[in-house]
Amino acid sequence: MGYNPQTLNRCPIRCGLGAAAAALLCLLMFSRPGLGQPEPPPPDIRVGGIKPAASLTTAEVLKPGLSVFYISGFFRHIDDMLSREGGRKQGKPGPPILQLNHQFDKGPVFDSGKTRGVGVYLFGLIRLSQPGRYIFTAQSNDGIRVFINDRMVINDPEVHGARFSNRGIVEIEDAGWYDIAVQYFQRKGTAMLEFYWQMPGADDRVIVPAEVLAHR
C-alpha cells in the first residue's frame, strides 16, 4: 500500500468524531429513564383524617364483594372514561367481584364478556379492623385509580404493561368499614388487576383478602 498523507491527516478527525458519537450515545442512554437505568418509583400518596362510613358492629346487612359496572371503550387514560358516578349510572352491572387478584392474560375481564376495550368501576366498603397505617398498592395492566372515602390513594392512570403502582399510605384512628371505589381499564393485549395491602405492624404486602370487601 502506498503512502497517502491525506488519509493520515483524516484519521484523527474520523477517530475524534467516532469518539464523540460514542460519548453522546452513552450520555443519552444513561440520562433517559428506561435506557440504561430504571425509572424512579412513583411518589407515595398519603391520606389521613378520614372516618369510617360504618362501624365494625354495624347492623347493616353487607353483601360480599364489590359491586361492578362495565363500559366499552379503547381508553388510553382513566380521564378518558366516564366519571365514577357516570360509570355507576350508565355502566352495565355484573355479579359482585369478591377479590381483586386476577391475571386475565388475554381472557375476559371479570364477567364483562370483553377481552379488550373495557372500563371497570368497582364500589363498596373495605374493613380496616385496627387503627394505624395501611399501605396499599396495585399491580395492573392497564390503568387504575383507587379511592378510599373519596380520597385518591392509588394513581397509575395510563396505558401500561403489568407493573406496580405508587404506594397509598392511609393513616386511620378508628377501625371500621371505609368506602372504596376503583376505576380500571383494559385497552388491548394482556390484562391483570391485583390489589395489595400491608396492615399495621405487618412486614410484607399481601393481596387484600375477600373477607374485608363488601357492598351494601
Model confidence over 51-105: pLDDT tens digits? 999 999 887 889 999 999 999 999 999 999 999 999 999 999 999 999 999 999 9
- This prediction has a pTM of 0.82
Which has the closest alpha carbon to 135: 66, 42, 43, 46? 46
Q: What is the DSSP string of the chain?
A: ----HHHHHHHHHHHHHHHHHHHHHHHHHHHSTTSSSPPPPPPPEEE-S---SB-TT--S-PEESEEEEEEE---SBGGGSPPHHHHHHHSEEEEEE---EEEEETS-STTSS-SSSEEEEEEEEEEE-SSEEEEEEEEEES-EEEEETTEEEEEE-B--SSEE---EEEEESS-EEEEEEEEEEE-SS-EEEEEEEE-TT-SS-EEPPGGGEEE-
Q: What is the pLDDT of residues 55-70, one digit of tens each?
A: 998 878 899 999 999 9
Question: What is the domain partition of the chain in residue ranges?
Answer: 1-40, 45-215
The number of beta carbons lying within 10 Å of the beta carbon of residue 202 is 12
Q: How many residues does the chain have?
A: 216
What average pLDDT does this structure show over 132-159? 98
Which pLDDT score, from 0 to 100, does residue 71 have?
98
CB-based contact 190:121 (threshold 8 Å): no
Q: What is the pLDDT of residues 171-189, one digit of tens each?
A: 999 999 999 999 999 999 9
CATH number of 45-215: 2.60.120.1560
Q: What is the pLDDT of residues 11-42, one digit of tens each?
A: 454 545 455 555 554 544 444 444 556 677 79
Which pLDDT score, from 0 to 100, does residue 8 have?
44
